[in-house]
Structure 1
Amino acid sequence: MTQARQAGVLMHITSLPEGKVGPDAYRFIDTLVEMGVAIWQTLPVNMPHDDQSPYQSVSAHAGHPGMISTQQLLKEGWCLPNEVDLPLPAVIARVMPRVQSNGVSTVDNHGLSWSGFARFCQAQRYWLEDFSLFLSLREQHQHQGWHQWPETYRLHDDQVLQTYAAIHQETLTLIKFTQYLFFQQWAQLKRYANQHGVKLFGDIPIFVAYDSADVWAHPEWFKLDESLDMTVVAGVPPDYFSETGQRWGNPHYNWARMQAYGFSWWLGRVDTLSTLFDIVRIDHFRGLQAAWEIPASEPTAIHGCWQEAPGDALLQAITRTFPQVSLVAEDLGIITAEVDALRHIYGLPGMKILQFAFGGGEDNPYLPENIEENSVAYTGTHDNDTTLGWYLAAPEHIRAHVQHYLQQVSPEMPQALIQLALQSAACLAVVPMQDILGLDSRARMNTPGTTQGNWAWRMEWSQLTDEKQQVFKQMIKESGRVYV
């Protein structure tokens, strides 16, 4: 990733007008190529809970069915025009027998086939079997968390589950086929992107949800008591975003047991992500060195403590098993010398957020002149306000610092910050689509520590005018960021 200065755009799949891995996604790649953008960064693409947060998914592997494009199925002839607007499960229930009866091999054409589905099920068996059971049982129990299920299901009784699987084979096959569709559509999109010189940049949340197939199927990898209840939960201490910290509520890992088994669960997870993306950001990277552990009984994150993690051994295992994987460290928040040292050992680029650069002294690591080459520079991320919204709401001393730094009384936002990011020494500069469109706080993607009003923003093609495209293209060119 450091071979040439490149530019990227941050926009989640669900922020496309259609919000799916379909025609809009291909059009977006074409647009990136036209602007000279080489990297498309998204948020995690796993299946979320009902709150739609990409960082609280029901599986560390399963793709988000809501991203499956019926328009793409129509284009490929698997779906009829009068079926496109049906609920997705109804569409897939019609597509599956057509694929089964077609019998075309995917060896030559990368398309859907029943033999391809069989190969997918075999290759992904290590997580797909448990996931399909989990999702079916979750539906049976009206989306209750697995810890509220009857004991034989809650405790993952193999004999009981075998009986259940035999009775519900059709449902389980449909769940697996849905995942096959997601992974096939994504593989086709990635192939198209790579053929056009665009790399896909993904995200791996460091923790998983308690109510997930992963914790249900493998409670031994997590810090749970004899009743399989969480004893401690993950979060972060009080910081820039919250005076009481953030109590995420995810279970902490039983790192000693994971390490004893060669981090097999983590390696499987990275294997899945490495097939979906060319570059993977490790969310909350500092948690691989030490993570904030909060007693499960505490309502906030204030009364927690740091617990060390075997990040060096884990990263050794990952880089040894996947020597071609390209990782980025999300090293924001309370970063210690130990966290920095861990990142440097493996040469991982860190993140530099320009919205954090102003209001302090000259040693602020986010100021453009302090950004090192092995970095990814951002105007802001999905957790920040849009740059225009940030500037309009910023305290006077921060705006004054921005104006002094730029030597402009009325800097044009967000273009001024975009230009700083692109002209920085960072090997990669990534700009959220909201900033390219010049949108205010109404287009914010997420406000950390809140559960309402997040993850809903969508772009309209009419917003991305030819003028906005040309302005961004020219800024990329002037910053010496080449399209390769």
Structure 2
Amino acid sequence: MRCAGILMPVSSLPSKRGIGTLGDQARRFIDFLVRSGQSAWQILPIVPTGYGDSPYQSFSSFAGNPYLIDLDDLADEGLICRAELDRIDWGADVARVDYEALYRERFAPLRAAVERLGAASPAALSAFTRAQASWLDDYALFMAIKDAHGGAAWSSWEPPLRFRQPAAIHRVRSELADGIAFWKGVQFLFFRQWARLAARAATADVAIIGDLPIYVAWDSADVWAHPEQFQLDAEETPIEVAGCPPDGFSAEGQRWGNPLFDWDRMRAGGYRWWIDRIAYQLRLFDVLRIDHYRGFDSYYAIPRASTTARGGRWRKGPGIEFFRALKRSIGEGRIIAEDLGFTTASVRHLLAQTGYPGMKVLQFAFDSRDGDGGRSMPGDYPRNCVAYVGTHDNDTVLGWLESAPAEDVVRARASLFLDADVDANWAMMRAIWNSPADTAIVQMQDVLGLDGSARMNTPSTLGGNWTWRALPGFASDDLAERLHCEMERCGRLPDPSDRHRVAEPMAGCGQLHDETRSSMGNRLARADDANGEQQHERGCDHGRGQSETC
């Protein structure tokens, strides 16, 4: 069955506390998706944001973002004083996230909440910390030490802590016990709210599509606690870093700066680190988009000293062996392969072997910068793919029409009959809704008809990204009705007879979901080898935010 969804970052929801959260507006958005005939809500990574406020540069692959915890829900539980929240200045612009204000103001009320949490829910907190100890112990310790060092990266800590010498770790666990307990409490609050929101989506039969960055940040609990999994030297410094080569979109390429995986060591260990990471994500989400999928076939390695990506070279990734190990461990999984960027025959073959749906981006069909504009028009999409007008790394439709090369815009207007009397955003969305793709996802900004000022991220830039927020009242009944009519015309309304669900609950947060998986989630990520061969080529991964300069 054909279905549709909306890409809307949690952080972009309205709220009076500076950033979108897992609270009332998220629940209302699920209701809006139901009224508008949508089957899926795609989000960005919900991990703590790190360098450049990017969710693709996180302090942990496993932790939840403290900024997304809804403080008003905590006030309703008696864990925070609402009057104190109302006195906090969260930033003047309701259409933008002010990350500096969040960093300055968010943690005081969270500390108050965690202090009261110990008395209010000691058994639940204890159960959560035991169940999540495999990652939570390292993360909470990492954050407590980071706090004690004024937020400095672990690479600048004194050697006994940097290299995790047992005596130093034992000592600091005692000295920083309160800080460790705080960070564990914050994670309990986050995942309790996440479980409730996921249960709400399950009841509404809305599948949540999560997002997993392929790489992790160097300044992360992942690398600090497991340096053996990465290509590091004797000082635990990256030998080479991740990125992609120069192309028609960037003359210097993109130097993301993430450490590279030691795939030989991972292979010897049965890929356990990676399998655990993906299995964990699939307990949170109905479907998981794996970012930069081509990196499993081959990855671009840049010398650490290089300031651009020009000096890099391609190295062989784990290939199908990894995915076979993954499937032996967790089954087929409900995975979307982000196969955008520079692709080769071997990348396309790997996608066909796994059977995962790839991605199609309509804006790229008209792009002349890599000489392949027009190769992948909506009518040519395979069924086994997820179609987009643009992703979070693309401009909005209206912004793209203003900023793209003139010849690309002319081609798009001619191909899609975008004359002056046509709402270009709706025409381009309608093109992917009418395509053969099983699943079509549009950005909320395009549904709202916003210009380029609402763009979420511009790759290879630092500052001003990840800040867009919708205004209160954005999810109106009129807009829901218009979307619902479009879904009906395009044959993408949910099937009322197809209502069984969904993601497993976070252990320690209570049994909030049904045990069965959603059939919609399975449809999104089913194996379809016949269609899997039909993957398009693009230039380098120009739609991304995983960079030291992103």
TM-score (norm 1): 0.94
Per-residue CA deviation, residues 241-272 of structure 1 (Å, 9 max, x unaligned), is: 31111000000000000111111111221122
* Aligned partner of residue 410 in structure 2, secondary structure: helix
Distance 1:387 1:209 in 2: 31
* Aligned partner of residue 248 in structure 1, secondary structure: strand
Per-residue CA deviation, residues 122-168 of structure 1 (Å, 9 max, x unaligned), is: 12111111111111111111111111111101111122111111122
C-alpha spacing 1:26/1:227, structure 2 compared with 1 (3 Å):
same
- Equivalent position of 1:323 in the other structure: 331
In the alignment, is the contact (CA less than 8 A) between 1:364 and 1:370 conserved in 2?
Answer: no
Shift of 1:392: 2.2
1:38 is the counterpart of 2:39: yes
Q: Which amino acid aligns with 1:17?
A: P
- Equivalent position of 1:304 in the other structure: 312
Q: Which amino acid aligns with 1:237?
A: P
Distance 1:77 1:23 in 2: 17
In the alignment, is the contact (CA less than 8 A) between 1:238 and 1:244 conserved in 2?
Answer: yes
- Equivalent position of 1:16 in the other structure: 13
Shift of 1:77: 3.8
Alignment: residue pair count: 471
Distance 2:475 2:364 in 1: 27
Shift of 1:229: 1.3
Shift of 1:196: 0.5
- Equivalent position of 2:390 in the other structure: 380
Q: Which amino acid aligns with 2:404?
A: A
- Equivalent position of 1:215 in the other structure: 223
Q: Which amino acid aligns with 2:419?
A: V
- Equivalent position of 2:322 in the other structure: 314
- Equivalent position of 1:437 in the other structure: 448
Distance 1:387 1:250 in 2: 30
Q: Among residues 144, 164, 167, which one is paired with 1:159 in the alignment?
A: 167
Structure 1, unaligned runs of 5 or more: 103-112
Q: Which amino acid aligns with 1:63?
A: G
- Equivalent position of 1:197 in the other structure: 205
Shift of 1:47: 0.7
Aligned-residue Cα RMSD (Å) equals: 1.7
- Equivalent position of 2:180 in the other structure: 172
Q: Which amino acid aligns with 1:34?
A: R
* Aligned partner of residue 458 in structure 1, secondary structure: coil
- Equivalent position of 1:92 in the other structure: 110
Per-residue CA deviation, residues 442-470 of structure 1 (Å, 9 max, x unaligned), is: 00000001111100000013344443332
Q: Which amino acid aligns with 1:315?
A: F
Q: Which amino acid aligns with 1:461?
A: P
- Equivalent position of 1:295 in the other structure: 303
Distance 2:133 2:346 in 1: 37
In the alignment, is the contact (CA less than 8 A) between 1:47 and 1:57 conserved in 2?
Answer: yes
Distance 1:362 1:153 in 2: 50
- Equivalent position of 1:473 in the other structure: 484
Identity %: 40
Q: Which amino acid aligns with 1:95?
A: A
Distance 1:447 1:62 in 2: 25
Matches within 5 A, 1:415-454: 415-454=426-465
In the alignment, is the contact (CA less than 8 A) between 1:379 and 1:418 conserved in 2?
Answer: yes
- Deviates most, 4-13 or 164-173: 164-173
In the alignment, is the contact (CA less than 8 A) between 1:353 and 1:379 conserved in 2?
Answer: yes
Shift of 1:353: 0.3
In the alignment, is the contact (CA less than 8 A) between 2:3 and 2:39 conserved in 1?
Answer: yes
Distance 1:174 1:311 in 2: 40
Per-residue CA deviation, residues 290-335 of structure 1 (Å, 9 max, x unaligned), is: 0100011111011111111113122122222222620000000111
After TM superposition, what 4+ stretches of structure 1 lie above 4 angstroms from structure 2? 359-363
C-alpha spacing 1:145/1:435, structure 2 compared with 1 (3 Å):
same
- Equivalent position of 1:247 in the other structure: 255
- Deviates most, 25-34 or 78-87: 78-87
In the alignment, is the contact (CA less than 8 A) between 2:367 and 2:374 conserved in 1?
Answer: no
- Equivalent position of 1:116 in the other structure: 124
Shift of 1:209: 0.6
C-alpha spacing 1:238/1:363, structure 2 compared with 1 (3 Å):
closer
- Deviates most, 362-371 or 341-350: 362-371
- Deviates most, 133-142 or 74-83: 74-83
Q: Which amino acid aligns with 2:481?
A: Q
Q: Among residues 367, 374, 395, which one is paired with 2:405 in the alignment?
A: 395
Q: Which amino acid aligns with 1:343?
A: L
> Bigger relative contact order, structure 1 or 2, given CA contacts below 8 A and separation 6+?
2
